[in-house]
Structure 1
Amino acid sequence: MQTNTIRTEVLQYIQDHNLTQSEFSTRANINSGSFSRLINQNKPFSMSQLDGITKAMGLGEDYFYSRFVGECFTLTAPDWRRLRPFLIRCAEVGRLDCTELILSNLLDNTNYGSLLFEVAEELFHRQYKDAAKLIYESVSVIEKYQHSERLALCQYRLFSLSISDNLALNLRAATRFEPYANRLEETDQLEAIKHLSHVYVSLHEWHKVDTLSEEMYRLASIQYELSLHPKRKTSEYKKPFRPFYFYMLYARLLQSAVYEQYEDYEKAMEYTLLYTNADEWIRDTSDEAQLIIRQFNDFSTANQYLLRLFMGELDYLSKYVEYIASQPDEIPHALCNIVRVANKFNINIDGILDRFQDHVPYRKYNCAFGEYNGPIKADEYASLLVNLAKYFLQYDRVLGIDILLEGLEFSGSIKSDSITIKCLTLFNQYRELANHEQLNKFNNLNSEVYLSHEKNSLNAHSK
């Protein structure tokens, strides 16, 4: 059975309601002459005309959308003046099926690459992320043989839109985007490298973090020096998301974290001192600069205390605790480190855990630069749970089993293989402490982990 065109349904409505075309066009707020030509010449409607007739007929806003897509390509040659507003409207009302129909008809025409990219950018910045993602993917297909900056920016947007608390999917997104990063403008590269680094921090891929942070520092320092050149005008370069010196400091912060994980605490201390007292060389007196300098000084102070703790100078524990107590958003990160120190040196921290117990539940936290990276904080919470469990189990406290099971469940939900393995290993080590109910829960979670791993393996092989 053939589907009626929009034109035939409009004419049927006019007939059923005993209206003249002029009367209907008035209701639809369309010029009567224009409406007559549309009907008699069987031309596709514009977006505003479609809105008018839909409203005049008392129908839902998107009632004709599927047919509208077809008529845009069958009644006439594609007209961007008609397609562009329709793509935006589809995003606004959530008709991604119609977005996909339009895109499927444009994939073979490279002339639409730049036009579609502009729409994707508008939707991206207006937070219509699902629609933007579809269009970026289409632009990537259209330009897949072009080594263009636009293609690289599409891949960067797709990477940004793909990041979630699912660490396995984040790795896939990072792997797909990374080859395109160096095709971006230097100013965009810096933010892109920062986000790539975050993915690899959450995955404990410290060699990747080291390489990326070194590249971040190299790019940022070159651009910072160029920005200070007296003959270089601000208009000559694209302004980065944050000042160039921010990325220089952030790269050093990442590098200090890398060497802390390598347990090379002396080297980590060297890098920690490199993002301290940045006011001595930053030639910027703005409020933003002062905020950045203060925040990195705070990071440095806390991390110097922490590194001394890892080096066995346990007298610094009270100083570290009092310092982070005044910075609530830093307490969860500090607790994770304190538990690691306690496990390493076999010290009792019950009092500290009681003091900061309200900061243990998983939630979002902020620093001076906005919300902390979600996947990093999710991985950190999973690490906190397994380390807390280890702490309690060392003292044969059954509470450790409950925390360990919570850690196993949480690490499974974020697809953190490394933390999941730690949980499984630790449970088997202390299995005799578990009661019947805890054993049943462990067996169920273990089965879920196995099935999830098998599913991920099948998905990976199918791609």
Structure 2
Amino acid sequence: MQSNTIRTEVLQYIQDHNLTQSEFSTRANINSGSFSRLINQNKPFSMSQLDGITKAMGLEEDYFYPRFVVECFTLTAPDWRRLRPFLIRCAEVGRPDCIELILSNLLDNTNYGSLLFEVAEELFHSQYKEAAKLIYESVSVIEKYQHSERLALCQYRLFSLSLSDNLALNLRAATRFEPYANRLEETDQLEAIKHLAHVYVSLHEWHKVDTLSEEMYRLASIQYELSLHPKRKTSEYKRPFRPFYFYMLYARLLQSAVYEQYEDYEKAIEYTLLYTNADVWIQDSSDEASLIIKQFNDFSTVNLFLYQLLAGNLETLTDYVEYISRQPDEIFHALTNIVKVANKFDINIDDILDRFQEHIPFKTYNSEFGEYNKPIKAEEYSSFLADLGKYRLHQGHSQGIDILLEGLEFAGKINSESNIIKCLTLFNRYREWANYDQLQKFNNLNSEVYQSHEKYPFSSVY
């Protein structure tokens, strides 16, 4: 039956059920005269006609879809008025195979680049992201020699859609997209650079974070100054996802994190002060501006405590703990830092860990300022488990072995190379503390991590 045309199968159904064409057309909600012409013409049905026919025959909605694609390209020249609604319907009912069939027939025709891009955008914003991804990939192929902004936006969408908890795959996505970032409109560039920076933060590629942050600040400051001009204020122009001053402040926040990792705490404090008390220069009295200013002031307060701690000023630990106790969304992040401080300066923090036990493990990505970046938080939790295992073992608690095994398993799941190495190294250092079951679990995890690393090697994407 699959070799038959849709028309042939419809006629066979009418015959088998002893119907007249008029009776069937009534069931299919198609005008009898129109149905008669459809049956006698060698042309594809429209989407609405196909829906009516399929329903009248009592078949699954997508029963004829593969043959419909074939007939759209064999019975007549491609008709976008027929293909466009079909692409959207395939996304709605989950038929990526049919979308791929259509796209494979359009790849050689550059005239379809803009039309397909519009459909991809509609599907992307309607949350049909897998279908949108297929179409963006095809548009990228069609326009690969055009060097257009549309090509850059396709690559940006593909980058966004490719991000996951797998850090190695995120690096591949970032590496693929980064050459296209500067082809985007400047208002889109800012959000794109932020997402790129997030990938490199999760991978501890701090030199990349520094470079991207400086570019973010440069672009945002130029656009912010332009936005203050009287003519710009009254004109219509594409606004960024967040206000320009948000990206200026966020760039400085990222740079303070860079210098924290470089252990240059004086420089980290210097950059922290640059996103403090932004109400002095931000010319915006909106509620959004007030929230952003509060957000960065809170970041500033907690980070100034942290950098003093990391620099060895341990007297500030009590104030730091009391401050974060009033910031529930920040407690887990603060605990990761407190454990690092404890390991660095060999201090006992058991009472602090007991006090905030309910915040271990990390439970939410939400905060009063929005949702935290998931890959960054996943990597942070992976690092926390490794550091906490080290702390427990150093304090003489054998439960540190189980924590290290948990950390190794989690690091393997997200392919966090740095934390895999950290957990492996620490476990081998304290191997004599492990019992038989723990050693067996370690060997199994070690094997799984090795296989995963062979599948997603970081070095293959550089």
TM-score between both structures, scaled by the size of structure 1: 0.98
C-alpha distance in structure 2 between counterparts of 1:159 and 1:272, whole Å? 30
**Contact in 1 for aligned 2:168/2:458 (Cα 8 Å):** no
Secondary structure at 1:232 match in 2 = helix
Alignment partner, residue 134 of structure 1: 134
Kindly tell me the number of residue pairs found equivalent between the two proteins. 462
Matched residue type, 2:243? P
Structure-2 residue corresponding to 1:25 = 25
Q: What is residue 288 of structure 1 aligned with on the other side?
A: 288
Equivalent in the alignment of 2:99: 99
2:374 maps to 1:391: no
SS of structure 2 residue aligned to 1:61? coil
Correspondence for 2:275: 275
Find the counterpart in structure 2 of residue 250 from structure 1.
250
Taking the aligned partners of 2:96 and 2:172, their CA distance within structure 1 comes to: 24
Name the counterpart of 2:120: 120
Q: How many angstroms apart in 2 are the aligned matches of 1:145 and 1:234?
A: 37
Q: Which residue of 2 aligns with 1:345?
A: 345
Q: What amino acid is aligned across from residue 316 of structure 1 in structure 2?
A: T
Q: What letter matches 1:419 in structure 2? A: N
| Matches for 1:320-331 after TM superposition, within 5 Å | 320-331=320-331
- Counterpart in the other structure of 1:336: 336
Q: CA deviation at 1:58?
A: 0.8
User: Within 1, Cα distance between the matches of 2:454 and 2:418?
Assistant: 16
Which amino acid in 2 is paired with 1:358? E
Letter in 1 for 2:391: Y
Does the Cα contact within 8 Å between 1:396 and 1:433 map onto a contact in 2? no
The alpha-carbon distance between structure 1 residues 370 and 458, as it changes in their structure 2 partners (threshold 3 A), is: closer
- TM-score, normalisation: structure 2: 0.98
User: Hey, what's the Cα distance between the residues in 1 that align with 2:13 and 2:268?
Assistant: 75
Cα contact 1:336–1:384 (8 A) shared by 2: yes
Q: Distance in 1 between matches of 2:53 and 2:285?
A: 58
Between the aligned partners of 2:426 and 2:397, the Cα distance in structure 1 is: 14
> 1:190 touches 1:247 (CA, 8 Å); kept in 2?
yes
Counterparts of 2:110 and 2:25, CA distance in 1 = 38
1:22 shift after superposition: 1.4
* Distance in 2, Cα, partners of 1:364 & 1:71: 50
Determine the structure 1 residue equivalent to 2:430: 430
Q: Deviation per CA, 1:329-387, whole angstroms, max 9, x where unpaired?
A: 11111000000011111111001101111111133322343210000000000010000
1:225 aligns to what? 225
Q: Work out whether residues 162 and 173 of structure 2, in 8 Å CA contact, stay in contact via their aligned partners in 1.
A: yes
Alignment root-mean-square deviation, CA: 1.4
Q: Deviations over 1:159-186 (max 9, x none)?
A: 0000000000000000000000000000
| Paired residue type of 2:56 | A
Q: Deviations over 1:271-321 (max 9, x none)?
A: 000100000000000000000000100000000000110111111111111
Dislocated runs of 4+, deviation >6 Å: none
Equivalents in 2 of 1:20, 1:328: separation in Å? 71
Tell me, what secondary structure is at the counterpart of 1:315? helix
State the secondary structure of the residue aligned to 2:19. coil
The residue identity in structure 1 corresponding to 2:426 is: L
Contact in 1 for aligned 2:21/2:36 (Cα 8 Å): yes
Q: Mean Cα displacement is larger for which, 180-189 or 431-440?
A: 431-440
Contact 2:169 2:456 in 1 (8 A): no
Matched-pair identity in %:
84
Contact 1:386 1:407 (C-alpha < 8 Å) held by counterparts: yes
Matches within 5 A, 1:53-452: 53-452=53-452
> 2:168–2:457: 8 Å Cα contact kept in structure 1?
no
Where do 5+ consecutive residues of structure 1 fail to align?
Answer: none
In 2, Cα distance between equivalents of 1:233 and 1:325? 42
Residue identity matched to 2:158: L
